[in-house]
Amino acid sequence: MQDYCTTGGKAGSATVLFLILSLSHRVVSFVIMAVDVKTIYIVDDDEAIRDSLGWRFKELGYYVECYPSAEDFFALPELAPLACLILDVRMRGLSGLQLQEKLMEAKRKCSYSIIFISGHGDIPMTVRAMKNGAIDFLEKPFEDSRLLSLVEVAFAKAQLEQDKLCIKDQLDALRMRLTKRERSVMQLVVMGRLNKQIAAELRIGIKTVEAHRANIKNKLNAKNRAEFIKMAMMLHQDY
């Protein structure tokens, strides 16, 4: 069951992604610009905490959704692309730590960071949360200013992760345009092999290697050798 402390329209609906290939000045660069609704999910079985935090973050312009249990939250079919999760550690049913681990196992394609809050924290609990990537572990009661600053850190981290996912998606799309043989040739080019060496290693003719290189260059929209090498290296590093 979701609480009625939501605002800002449909979470993640304003996602806009642009891939800009800048080929001027003989330099190829990938520029990712993502505009997302910043969504805060509050999962706590204390209604007073949910209401208090929910209204506080709504006033600051965030989209907020509140859930009274980890099970209710995990039942969401998908999360907003850019999110911060504020989780209570001890709740009826699944704990916040168990929810964190279930999210890691689910490997949902979104970018989120987690902040834990609890009135009953201990060192092993904190270590477990931080090892799994939590931003911080706050003990109740806590200063609002401290939580607000952590939320800013959480979104900055989530944005970096989202940018990495965006770049990976774009590289995957480019790679899919290449045949298996072209990918093999490209890897050897990045490794510094000459055409005759590539031909010998792949047991094909030099003319065939040259044809593959020309096809790769065209598919990557590379205008010259420098652009071709730069883009091939980007694709190779992501293997």
CATH number at residue 35: 3.40.50.2300
- Do 156 and 188 reside in the same domain of the chain? no
- Do 95 and 47 lie in one domain? The reply is yes
Domain identity same for 206 and 112? no
- Do 144 and 217 fall within a single domain? no
- Whether 24 and 54 map to the same domain: the answer is yes
Domain boundary among 124, 143, 173: 173
Neighbouring C-beta atoms of residue 227, cutoff 10 Å: 18
CA distances in angstroms from 60 to 12, 27, 39, 54, 146, listed in the order given: 17, 40, 12, 10, 15
> Quick one: 79 and 130 in the same domain?
yes
Position 160 in a domain: yes
Is 0.75 surpassed by the pTM of this model? no
Shared domain for 130 and 229, answered yes or no, is no
Give the structural domain span for 25. Answer: 16-173
- Shared-domain flag, residues 52 and 38: yes
Mind listing the pLDDT tens digit of every residue in the chain (239 residues)?
A: 666 455 443 333 333 333 333 333 333 344 444 446 899 999 999 999 999 999 999 999 999 999 999 999 999 988 888 899 999 998 989 999 999 999 988 877 678 999 999 887 677 888 888 888 899 999 888 898 999 999 999 999 888 888 877 877 877 888 888 899 998 998 898 888 999 999 999 999 999 999 999 998 888 887 887 877 887 787 776 54
CA distances to 4, 110, 139, 156, 173 from 55, rounded to whole Å, are 11, 25, 20, 22, 41
- In a domain? residue 66: yes
In the chain, how many domains are there? 2
The answer to the question of residue 36 being in a domain is yes
Same domain for 190 and 156, yes or no, is: no
- SS3 state of residue 62: coil
Name residue, tokens 């047991």.
203
